[in-house]
Chains A and B, each alone.
Chain A
Amino acid sequence: MNELRLRAVREPDAPPEDKESEPEAKVDGETASDSESRAEATPLVTSVDDTPEVLNRALSNLSSRWKNWWVRGILTLAMIAFFFVIIYLGPMVLMIIVMCVQIKCFHEIITIGYNVYHSYDLPWFRTLSWYFLLCVNYFFYGETVTDYFFTLVQREEPLRILSKYHRFISFTLYLIGFCMFVLSLVKKHYRLQFYMFGWTHVTLLIVVTQSHLVIHNLFEGMIWFIVPISCVICNDIMAYMFGFFFGRTPLIKLSPKKTWEGFIGGFFATVLFGLLLSYVMSGYRCFVCPVEYNNDTNSFTVDCEPSDLFRLHEYNIPEVIQSAIGWKIVRMYPFQIHSIALSTFASLIGPFGGFFASGFKRAFKIKDFANTIPGHGGIMDRFDCQYLMATFVNVYIASFIRGPNPSKLIQQFMTLRPDQQLHIFNTLRSHLTEKGMLADATEN
């Protein structure tokens, strides 16, 4: 990719000439006023026009503003279509895509770090960053795999040992990286190396944990993956449209192009969209059932009795709306109520993830994270609002929908000592008896 090779160039004052001046240039206000006197502080990544030739020719007649609008529009539709294809292909492909997106985001952020600190010539550093990424991914995937693939893991001897001592192995791997870092410290470059170390760790914290929470959500049921992500995308698009047509009052200094009209319009549109989407998706088993790994067929299956959340219930409409719509009751899935919470989060708090990324870009004087997607910037630019969403959905599920994973609990139970097992069993029995779940109270 081009951005791999780009180093900080000592640019003169003017913004890069080869990129059309877009209406959404976010950093112009900053760049012009405070950086032009110092060569080192100019925008680090000169953008190269990545738009495919075909599009360029087709749109060559339009003015640059509309051309940009069209490029963005076409790419948006392309990405959405791609998303649908992936969903169709199933959970395994989705997992792989999530992992690829994670790696690309990590790469983009680390490259920015390299550019900021001119640290290409630091010994070992690139190797160490990727090594840490590998370690942390190994740790997280190991924990996930052990939980969901429990039976498969128990069958294969090497896997069983790997899973039993998983934490120890991960810790050892991390420690090796840590010791290599300490041994690689070079006089006169200490600060730089510590900065890159810190940068790598914060990036890992953000990127890898989020992607693993996304995969956890996915295993809960594909609807828990699709609805939140779609809400964020919808909010992005709707806020942009409302802002484009009705936008007047600026929202926050960080992103001068966001407006209150866009924000509020996006909120209502997203809630509505979420309701409709959940209604459509709750009908299909393949979205609603937890993803399970079937030992016999050695593949993922989604086949179950839909839980209570995904069965139509009748709700009484409050008086106020009754007169407006003229219906007494409405049939909804309980999941749609939850989707309102998810959409609300996506519209109200999700944008803060976007502001955070904008602030980050201004801080480091870059226009986009990278140039992967023409008209949109890098992968990270598209996923910055998703950042908080995955954590929220995971926390939401764990707090309100279901408790801990039963199969994981059974697994943990098996590793306890017999007296502990007995103690837990007896406590559970008395608890169930109290609740009246157990018919008999006269066992020994």
Chain B
Amino acid sequence: MLELRHRGGCPGPGGAVAPPPREGVAAGGDHENESTSDRETDIDDRYGDLDSRTDSDIPEIPPSSDRTPEILKKALSGLSSRWKNWWIRGILTLTMISLFFLIIYMGSFMLMLLVLGIQVKCFHEIITIGYRVYHSYDLPWFRTLSWYFLLCVNYFFYGETVADYFATFVQREEQLQFLIRYHRFISFALYLAGFCMFVLSLVKKHYRLQFYMFAWTHVTLLITVTQSHLVIQNLFEGMIWFLVPISSVICNDITAYLFGFFFGRTPLIKLSPKKTWEGFIGGFFSTVVFGFIAAYVLSKYQYFVCPVEYRSDVNSFVTDCEPSELFQLRSYSLPPFLKSVLRQETVSLYPFQIHSIAFSTFASLIGPFGGFFASGFKRAFKIKDFANTIPGHGGIMDRFDCQYLMATFVHVYITSFIRGPNPSKVLQQLLVLQPEQQLNIYKTLKTHLIEKGILQPTLKA
């Protein structure tokens, strides 16, 4: 990717930055200009300087080159630059949405891969920013270590969550059984190997830099990897738990932009001067309505509503079940004032639509804080966009910054209000216990089930 090769110019005190916005810059002799070598002695102190100065002293890293494809440029060459930008953003938005629909059509497995791909790309973008800020390309080992930690953490999370869902598949294979049983130990050993490599790679005069990159990597992992795994867990709950929240955030983005574009007047927050109160409130109401409708439409199809399961016989994911109560139409009596407006006594709704109101509210009210956080981050490090992957929009991270909190919220919501723990995980853990413990639990469960009338008492105890 281009941004791998971009190096920030040395922020000499008060000096202008000479950025290399060239396509495909060779990494080799083209080191950031003058002084890497003769600044060897005080690299750490340079960062001490950087840290304690205020932001204004740090020169900006100018935006990278224009990546708009040639065809678009030719088609839009006639328009003024404002409308041109509008059209580019519009076309790319439609392209992304169509891509999204295509992948949904292709199924859960493709969605999982997509989420994984996005996670890796987001991680890459944030780490690249770190490299640029700290000029740390020449640090020994560091890139290897960052990717290694990404691998470790992903291995750990995939082992904990996804393995539960593949329980039947896993039972068959002996080696997988071993990996599952000692999973935590293996993950910990892998992480420890990375940690020891980090300690051994500490180089005199670069300590501070290395610690910064270590912390940067860990915070990035905390943000991107945990979120993406929560997204996948939500996905396994049922594709609707994945689609409705993400669409609500996207809808909020788009409608807030549109409302702001046409009616925007009062600025919302200093961090993002282009956001307005009109956009915020207009976006809120449209998102709630949109969520309501999307939930209604999607709740009808088993494909979206059923938990995703892995069937070993067909070796693929299936969504096939009796829709739970949430997705069955129920009649609600309308409160009096709505009764007069709509002239109906009751209305048939899916209970899920009530939940979708909660999601849309969160997406509109708190989701933007994720966006403000990312804006603050970009201002802090004087970058315009996270990267240049999507013309007109910036990097992948720019599109996903508001989703950041949404995934956690949906997951917490599901575990608190919708269902308890994951049954296959409980089963998995039961099977791992000592036989005496299993027997004890068996007896306790039996008593409980008989009490509740779920199990008929048998002749033998």
Tell me the nearest residue of chain B to A172, going by C-beta: B412
Q: Are B380 and A191 in contact (CB under 8 A)?
A: yes
Residues in chain A near residue B379, CB distance under 8 A? 190
Interface residue from A40, A349, A399, A435 paired with B48 (Cβ < 8 Å): A40
Q: Are B215 and A199 in contact (CB under 8 A)?
A: yes
Q: Are A413 and B445 in contact (CB under 8 A)?
A: yes
Flag A167-187 by CB within 8 Å of B: 1 or 0 each: 110010001001101110101
Interface residues of A in 107-151 (CB under 8 A from B): 116-118
Q: Are B433 and A432 in contact (CB under 8 A)?
A: no
The verdict on A412 contacting B55 (CB below 8 Å), with A199-B215, A349-B196, A428-B430 known, is no
Tell me the nearest residue of chain B to A399, going by C-beta: B185
A297 at interface, CB cutoff 8 A? no
* Chain A contact residue count (CB 8 A cutoff): 86
Q: Are B454 and A418 in contact (CB under 8 A)?
A: yes
Q: Which of B380, B430, B438 has the most CB of A within 10 A?
A: B430
Cα distance A438–B435 in the bound complex, in angstroms: 10
The verdict on A175 contacting B366 (CB below 8 Å), with A349-B192, A403-B432 known, is yes
A326 at interface, CB cutoff 8 A? no
For the residues of A in contact with B, the DSSP-based class is helix
For the residues of B in contact with A, the DSSP-based class is helix
Q: Are B54 and A41 in contact (CB under 8 A)?
A: no
Q: Are B430 and A359 in contact (CB under 8 A)?
A: no
Interface residues of B in 346-386 (CB under 8 A from A): 366, 369, 372-373, 376-377, 379-381
Q: Are B210 and A171 in contact (CB under 8 A)?
A: no
A5 at interface, CB cutoff 8 A? no
B35 at interface, CB cutoff 8 A? no
B330 at interface, CB cutoff 8 A? no
Nearest Cβ on chain B to A360's Cβ, whole angstroms: 6
Interface bracket on B: 35 or more
Residues in chain B near residue A400, CB distance under 8 A? 185
Nearest Cβ on chain B to A358's Cβ, whole angstroms: 9
Cα distance A30–B207 in the bound complex, in angstroms: 11
Interface residues of B in 17-73 (CB under 8 A from A): 41-42, 44-45, 48-49, 51-52, 54-56, 58
Q: Which residues of B contact A (CB under 8 A)?
A: 41-42, 44-45, 48-49, 51-52, 54-56, 58, 181-182, 184-185, 188, 192, 195-196, 198-200, 202, 204-205, 207-208, 210-211, 215-216, 218-219, 222, 269-271, 366, 369, 372-373, 376-377, 379-381, 405, 408-409, 412-413, 415-417, 419-421, 423, 426-427, 429-435, 437-442, 444-446, 448-449, 452, 454-456, 458, 460
Q: Which residues of A contact B (CB under 8 A)?
A: 30, 34-35, 37-38, 40-41, 116-118, 164-165, 167-168, 171, 175, 178-179, 181-183, 185, 187-195, 198-199, 201-202, 205, 252-254, 349, 352, 355-356, 359-360, 362-364, 388, 391-392, 395-396, 398-400, 402-404, 406, 409-410, 412-418, 420-425, 427-429, 431-432, 435, 437-438, 440, 443-444
